[in-house]
Amino acid sequence: MKCKIMHENRGRMRVHIPVRHMSSFEADRIQYYLASLQFVKKASVNERTSNAIVFYDSSCRDELIRAFAEFNEDTAVSVPSHTGRELRIEYENRMFFHIADRFLQSFIVPLRIRRLIVTLKAVPYILNGLKCLLSGKLEVSVLDATSIAVSLLRRDYTTVGNVMFLLKMGEMMEDWTHKKSVDDLARAMSLNIDKVWMLASDGQEVLANISDINEKDKIVVRTGNMIPLDGIVLSGDASVNQATMTGESEPVHKTEGSLVYAGTVIDEGELVISVEKAQGQGRYDRIVSMIEESEKLKSESEAKAAHLADRLVPYTLGATFLTWLLTGNTTKATSILMVDFCCALKLAMPISVLSAMREAGDHKISVKGGKFMEAVAEANTIVFDKTGTLTHATPSVAKVVVFGDNDEDEMLRLAACLEEHYPHSIANAVVKAAENKGLTHEEKHTRAAYIVAHGISSTIDGKKVCIGSHHYIFEDEKCTVPSGFTDTFDSLPPEYSHLYMAIGEELAAVILIEDPLREEAPSVIKKLKDVGFENIVMMTGDSHRTAKSVARKTGVTQYFSEVLPEDKAEFIRKEHEAGNKVIMIGDGINDSPALSEADAGIAVSTGASIAREIADITISSDDLGALLTLRSLSTNLMNRINLNYNSIIGFNSFLIIMGILGFFTPTTSAFLHNASTIAISMKSMTNLLDE
């Protein structure tokens, strides 16, 4: 592709792409191509100017220029079906034509015709107000209708035109901001599933790319995993959490013949599904519908502003009529009517929240509702799971210690064969270690059963195989250490996490897992204390020895070891009883009850599907510092909402007083009121954090 460098400085380049008319799709292809390059930090393409702005690693300038040169129509680029570009262009055009229409009418259309147009445009507003009154309600539409009707009766067509122009602009801004935020959230909540277990014609399970799955193919989904495609259950029995699709609070029982939906999660059980819809069909629209209908988008501050706005409508009308009765001055009375609190309160507050959620997305933080940011801002207790949160989500296998006559590679092969069906951080480490050693395998075992917070059991060659925790292997399953290997067992290195595997009720191998602490964890914990978290707790199913070591290194204020999922949830309940607001961070199936119990549940993006689906917020696994960003965003959002609240009440009260005193005419009051509403709304759309 031919292009021209227009401007550059260290780590930033603006490039012009010489095309006559760049379409939205072409702009998206270039933008997503550039964003996919490892050395590119951020890229944006403007379809109107055909310019691309790229922020990149300054040491890779030549690679960036080469990437531009190599791009062509045949370059493979993965572009989401919804990027938000078409939505932005639609509202930019609508806003432009709305403003242009107003100015053209003012300078070109004759006065008499202009007045007729204004009158015709006023009819829908008046009808909406009458409809609201007939339904027994006093809402903002009544104020709008009254102010427009009174101005028409006074033949003040200029004021009527100004009021309707500003009202329409406000409606478009609110509609665009809401739709854009919903669109951003819907894309952030995409499935992000690359692989799926497909049932081949010979009955073997094959790990396949989801893009290769077609209608009528059979897939297998097990406990804790997300159903990636719509389909019909062929066999199996499971409880499916489909709250994100249908709003049902309880898991739904699914068996042969049941319909299942992409994006829902199996709480317990296993299903063989015949695929009915290929990847992505219908998923986006359902997510958009879910977000728009969800009350989770409402924070308490938003609800408070909306209720106050509705309560103030009768008082505004009352003040208008009282002023008219006392003074007999229609101009003063109408000046009050031109000012209402509802428009600004109902517009600025949701825009603030939705814009904050959009900004969070820019920092790789997905937030499902404004009330969760409010909870993060007010929380004083934070609970961490250990593995995958305070430690890296990608632990590795350090060594396989075998017992009896077992072979090291064969034990690793068998462990990977079992663990790959129920992916979590330690399971992924085992599977990765087997792959690195080239240990391929066939599915020789029977159905693998997952026991939450314990391990996996199956049968191979008639013998029961178990893999999991010390408690599961030795206390629940009553397995024993082979004769003559007690010293080997007692000398297992304490610095590693231990994954035990038994065959036929006898210990066969212990897989030593390196669970390295995140480099940033100690500094993040310290900064969390600085920003107001009084109690920072770590809860883990690991041994006391491992938990104590991690707690000492990170500086948490409390830690609990060998806990079960219900223990984490019970701790959070007790914190609530003590009057504390709690947020929980986890990444596994066993964290799900605690994530649900917390005021805001935060999942790590590389965690289990069910954890991400249940969580209210998802952060990138790259850096725990995202928690500090989230806290800053949430705190700044609450500050902005409070500032907006005080500004709207204060400024509009000032306008009403000026109207009563006769200092402001209705036109001036209407202009200042609507201008302040737009100004506050525009400010609410800006970023809360500096770049």
What's the structural domain count of the chain? 5
Q: Above 50 in pLDDT, residue 85?
A: yes
- pLDDT score at 143: 73
User: Average pLDDT in the 281-298 region?
Assistant: 53
- pLDDT score at 393: 62
Q: Above 50 in pLDDT, residue 281?
A: no
Assess whether 410 and 506 both reside in one domain: yes
CA distance 384 to 584: 6
On whether residue 502 sits in a domain, the answer given is: yes
- Mind listing the pLDDT tens digit for each residue in 447-457? 677 776 578 88
Which of 372, 423, 39, 364 has the alpha carbon at shortest distance from 187? 364
Alpha carbon 475 to chain centroid, angstroms: 40
Determine the length of the chain: 691
Assess whether 165 and 220 both reside in one domain: no
What tokens were used for 533?
Answer: 């978290």
- Mind listing the pLDDT tens digit for each residue in 299-315? 566 666 666 666 667 77
What tokens were used for 72?
Answer: 């062509």
CA distance 643 to 407: 68
On whether residue 455 sits in a domain, the answer given is: yes
On whether residue 290 sits in a domain, the answer given is: no
CATH of the domain at 378: 3.40.50.1000
CA–CA distances in Å: residue 325 to residues 319, 321, 322, 332: 10, 6, 5, 11
Q: Is the dihedral of CA 482, 486, 492, 494 positive or negative?
A: positive
User: Average pLDDT in the 355-376 region?
Assistant: 84
User: Average pLDDT in the 87-98 region?
Assistant: 88
CATH of the domain at 412: 3.40.1110.10
Last residue of a domain, one of 225, 250, 279: 279
Last residue of a domain, one of 220, 247, 279: 279
Which of 169, 112, 119, 115 has the alpha carbon at shortest distance from 149? 119
618 or 523, higher pLDDT: 523
Assess whether 617 and 522 both reside in one domain: yes
- Mind listing the pLDDT tens digit for each residue in 9-62? 989 999 999 888 899 989 999 998 998 888 998 899 999 999 999 999 989 999
On whether residue 601 sits in a domain, the answer given is: yes
Owning domain of residue 231: 195-279
Last residue of a domain, one of 79, 104, 128: 79
Assess whether 462 and 410 both reside in one domain: yes
Assess whether 260 and 307 both reside in one domain: no
The residues, any chain, with a CB within 8 Å of residue 239's CB and separated by 6 or more, are 251, 252, 253, 254, 266, 267, 268, 269
Task: Give strand pairing partners of 501.
Answer: 467, 509
Assess whether 321 and 225 both reside in one domain: no
- Mind listing the pLDDT tens digit for each residue in 476-492? 889 999 999 999 999 88
Assess whether 215 and 264 both reside in one domain: yes
Q: Above 70 in pLDDT, residue 444?
A: no
- pLDDT score at 513: 86
Q: Is the pTM of this model over 0.75?
A: no
538 or 315, higher pLDDT: 538
On whether residue 63 sits in a domain, the answer given is: yes
- Percent of the chain topping pLDDT 90: 26
User: Average pLDDT in the 668-672 region?
Assistant: 77
Assess whether 180 and 308 both reside in one domain: yes
Assess whether 490 and 522 both reside in one domain: no
- Mind listing the pLDDT tens digit for each residue in 541-569? 777 877 888 899 999 999 998 888 788 88
Mean pLDDT score of the chain, rounded to an integer?
82
User: Average pLDDT in the 157-166 region?
Assistant: 80
Assess whether 96 and 55 both reside in one domain: no
CATH of the domain at 21: 3.30.70.100
**Alpha-helical regions (H) of 399-520:** 408-419, 425-436, 470, 486-490
On whether residue 452 sits in a domain, the answer given is: yes
- pLDDT score at 52: 94
On whether residue 650 sits in a domain, the answer given is: yes
Assess whether 173 and 118 both reside in one domain: yes
Assess whether 179 and 302 both reside in one domain: yes
On whether residue 330 sits in a domain, the answer given is: yes
